[in-house]
Amino acid sequence: MNEKVKFYNEKMEKTIHALEKEYGAIRAGRANPAVLDKIMVDYYGTPTQIQSMAAISVAEARILVIQPWDKSTLKAIEKAIQTSDLGINPANDGTVLRIVFPQLTEERRKDICKQVRKEAEEAKVAIRSIRRDANEKFKAMKKASEISEDEQKDLEDSTQKLTDKFCKTIDDLSAKKEKEILEI
């Protein structure tokens, strides 16, 4: 792969990784510690991720158990989960928090699928934006006589192939996540 295109390939790969992380945080009816990734707890005045404050384990298919290393943070973690957009109240037994994920309704599954498609479309927009930036850079290089017109066309073709490849990857990830949500 051409060095000039390699940089843009890496940027597109980062977009895919970001999408995979987003999909990991989408609640699909099973207990998944990734749903807690975005929740921040006020820990002595500092916003801190739950993973940094507690051991998180999957007790059963639909139950997450959060065991704080410092028992005094239990209430703060519980409050952060309650005020998040997770929509679930944790059960506090004084030493651990249990989060029970209810079965998803058909309507909720459809809403989650819409969210999956929206995330996929945003990722595609990001990929296309990277392609546009690359093409503008190649045009500027041609204008500055750093590359020939043929080289510019080859670089733009390579970038288009990358864009197509990554958009297909996004479609595949989206379809897989939707299938996972609908089959639960």
* Most confident stretch, 19-23, 129-133, 177-181: 129-133
3-state secondary structure (DSSP) of residue 105: coil
pLDDT digits (tens, 9 = 90+) for 89-138: 888 888 888 888 777 788 878 888 898 999 999 999 999 999 999 999 99
For residue 95, what are the CA distances in angstroms to 65, 66, 81, 89?
A: 10, 9, 16, 16
Residue 154 belongs to what domain range? 3-25+105-182
Does one domain contain both 89 and 124? Answer: no
3-state secondary structure (DSSP) of residue 151: helix
* Residue 55: closest CA among 4, 95, 113: 95
* Residue 122: closest CA among 15, 29, 1: 15
Answer yes or no: pTM beyond 0.85: no
Does one domain contain both 43 and 72? Answer: yes
Write the DSSP string, 9-43.
HHHHHHHHHHHHHHHHHS--SS--GGGGTT-EEEE
Does one domain contain both 151 and 125? Answer: yes
pLDDT digits (tens, 9 = 90+) for 30-48: 677 877 888 888 888 888 8
Q: Select from 85, 100, 115 the last residue of a domain.
A: 100
Does one domain contain both 124 and 178? Answer: yes
Q: Select from 52, 85, 100 the last residue of a domain.
A: 100
CATH number of the domain at 135, please: 1.10.132.20
Which residues are CB-neighbours of 103 under 8 A, at least 6 positions away?
Answer: 29, 62, 184
Q: What is the pLDDT of residue 182?
A: 80
CATH number of the domain at 72, please: 3.30.1360.40
Q: What is the pLDDT of residue 27?
A: 64
